Structure 1
Amino acid sequence: MQIGIKRTLDRIPGGMMVVPLLTGSLFATFAPGTGQFFGSFTGALFRGALPILAVFYVCMGTTISLDALPAMARRGGTLLGSKIAMGVLVGVLLGHVLGEHPVTGGWFAGLSTLAVVAAINDTNGGLYMALMNQFGRADEAGAYVVMTLESGPFLTMVTLGVAGLSAFPWQTLVGAILPLAFGIALGNMDRDMRALLGAASPALIPFFAFSLGTTLDLHQVWGAGLLGIGLGVGVVAMSAVVLIGADRLAGGNGTAGAAASSTAGNAAAVPALIAAANPAYQAAAGPATILVAACVVTSSLLVPLLTAQWARLMRGNGLPAESVAAPSPPDKLPQTRLVKM
């Protein structure tokens, strides 16, 4: 008998990331000794998020084709640069108020500079590609090749450093980007390795998500879900204003900017990686993971509605958004649309 587990997860925004994350957090909350009790491979899965993430970023890096970067650099570079600038600005403002630590009480308990920056820095690539295939043009869809450089903790580390918060030694910064860089090099040297490792990226998501979840005690972050919804609304609203404007300045009609206003499911892994690299963010990492996960779901629901409305408005103004006739060639974008949820 077939149950259709994957089909069910696919119907949930960010489900392949969010559901295993919440499952792991239930173990951490109600059966915290499970991993230690079983030990061996089971115990390793309960505390092994970082090695799985390292493999994940190597695999995902193989999907980034250098041949496709120059043609897509202007549009994708504009969106990427705008997101970086937005993250730095928010990091500077919140950094002066909150520093590295989360809010400890009240309605905003759990909110931190780390949570907000991580939510802003990474775009939901699968959602962006799907929306551009429906409402955009080929060059707008292909722009995501450049935007995949957001992936991983490197950009958030740089943003937090620029914001004047606890800095990271250069070895840590290099180490954060090495798996992705190695994957990019490997995938561009050998298409067969790109096909092999690129296809493996989506399969790793539920495993590192579960492992991350086993570090989250829901008793400590019970209010983060509601706050995460508010964070998601805020991120979408702010990102839409900035990215739609940037896209129009780059020659688009703003539809690509609207579609890029979401938060990737992968972003939920960033707080734990940041805390592992710098203990100053340890207190913020747990609540930030839940906040960002809630932001993923919220933005995944809002951005399609926003993009559809914006595309309809542009058509009404005589600026039609052309549909993409066919998906990008497999040697250019083999698995990117499947990875970042």
Structure 2
Amino acid sequence: MKIMKTIQKVPGGMMVVPLILGALINTFAPGALKIGSFTTATFSNAAAATIVGMQLFFIGTGLKLNEAPEAIKRGSVLLISKYAAGAILGILIAKVFGPAGILGVSTLAIICSVTGANGSLYLALMGEYGDSKDLAAQSIMNIHDGPFLALLTFGVSGMANIPVMSLFAAIVPLIIGCILGNLDTDIRKFFAPGVGLVIPFIGFALGAGINFFTIVKAGFSGVLLAAMIFIIGGGFAILGDKLISRRPGYAGAAIASAAGNTIASPAALALVDPTLKPFVASATAQIAAAVVITALIVPPFVDWIAKKYGAPKFEKNAAEIAL
């Protein structure tokens, strides 16, 4: 049976498929995940905190502090542009409409998703359209994987009651991983597969906290969130790429997506501030829907941007034809 290959054909499949399976069990047989011992500890919603902490550590080990200046510049511009889009949008909506957000999309969902991007999708697209510096820039943008930036935004803006120590505690795994990964490249190599390995477990654990009847009620909101991520988040990223980095914009277009890893962010924030718990289920479902939608529309969009404004792929092809 080609189970793995079948799952990988689904956009964000390694996160989305386990999430759907977990949600199906929680919706129709919730008691199956609460029998205790290692089953509950690994597969119930209670496992999310531990697995997200592991993921933050693995991400930290992959953060390289000595990347080439150009790669750092490109990655930083993209990271800040996309983050600014989500932070500004989320804070404005919170000020006007409150934490419940607009048209069913909470500020929790907006800040968690618009500030991030699908790193795997970015790398795949840059492997086709970009150059080595574009690929290296991902090491800087790894910062937007997981809940760190969302936690920072909620804490600084005052939208959530997040004590400084709780904020620090939430990023300790990332910091420890970053220190170890930069002290010893063997550590970085050893833990590199970890980021991908824990994704299905995070997906299932989060799904185990979702009831499908809630998702059905908020169906349109997932599409609306995807539009915010693609249009506003992607728009900011393209502008930053073109106006600040003086690049064609294809790299900015490549992060006009929702990250599968940010599906875990609402649950992570609610662990720090319990007042956010009422929004976790809907935000998680909306982000999961946005991951699928943006993963489908971003690749053809990048191709269009690259053809219109240029990319190393087409420059290389032109040089080969000239020869």
User: Residue 43 of structure 1: which of 40, 44, 55 is its match?
Assistant: 40
**Structure 2 unmatched runs, 5+:** 317-323
Name the counterpart of 1:158: 152
Name the counterpart of 1:34: 32
Q: Which moved more, 1:287-296 or 1:59-68?
A: 59-68
Name the counterpart of 1:336: none
Name the counterpart of 1:331: none
Question: Is 1:62 equivalent to 2:57 in the alignment?
Answer: no
Greater fraction of residues in helix: 2
CA distance in 2, matches of 1:5, 1:202: 17
Deviation at 1:102, TM superposition (A): 5.8
CA distance in 1, matches of 2:258, 2:251: 15
TM-score by length of 2: 0.91
**Aligned 8 A contact 2:145 2:259 in 1:** no
**Aligned 8 A contact 2:86 2:233 in 1:** no
Deviation at 1:83, TM superposition (A): 1.6
Q: Which amino acid aligns with 1:241?
A: G
Name the counterpart of 2:280: 285
Deviation at 1:160, TM superposition (A): 2.2
Q: Which amino acid aligns with 1:307?
A: V
SS in 1 for 2:221: helix
Per-residue CA distance 1:193-245 (angstroms, 9 max, x = gap): 22221122211111121011111112223233432123212310112221111
Name the counterpart of 1:334: none
> Are residues 211 and 69 of structure 1, via their aligned partners in 2, closer, same or farther at CA, if it must alter by over 3 Å?
farther
Runs of 4+ deviating beyond 6 Å: none
Residue correspondence of structure 1 range 160-309 to structure 2 within 5 A = 160-249=154-243, 250-309=245-304
> Are residues 226 and 73 of structure 1, via their aligned partners in 2, closer, same or farther at CA, if it must alter by over 3 Å?
same
Q: Which moved more, 1:157-166 or 1:16-25?
A: 157-166
Per-residue CA distance 1:142-165 (angstroms, 9 max, x = gap): 211111111221210221234441
CA distance in 1, matches of 2:263, 2:315: 30
**Aligned 8 A contact 1:13 1:300 in 2:** yes
Identity within the alignment, %: 36
How many residue pairs were aligned? 313
Name the counterpart of 1:101: 100
CA distance in 2, matches of 1:235, 1:302: 12
Cα RMSD, aligned residues only: 1.8
Deviation at 1:71, TM superposition (A): 4.0
> Are residues 240 and 200 of structure 1, via their aligned partners in 2, closer, same or farther at CA, if it must alter by over 3 Å?
closer
**Structure 1 unmatched runs, 5+:** 326-341
CA distance in 2, matches of 1:152, 1:174: 15
Deviation at 1:50, TM superposition (A): 0.8
Name the counterpart of 2:312: 321
Deviation at 1:323, TM superposition (A): 7.0
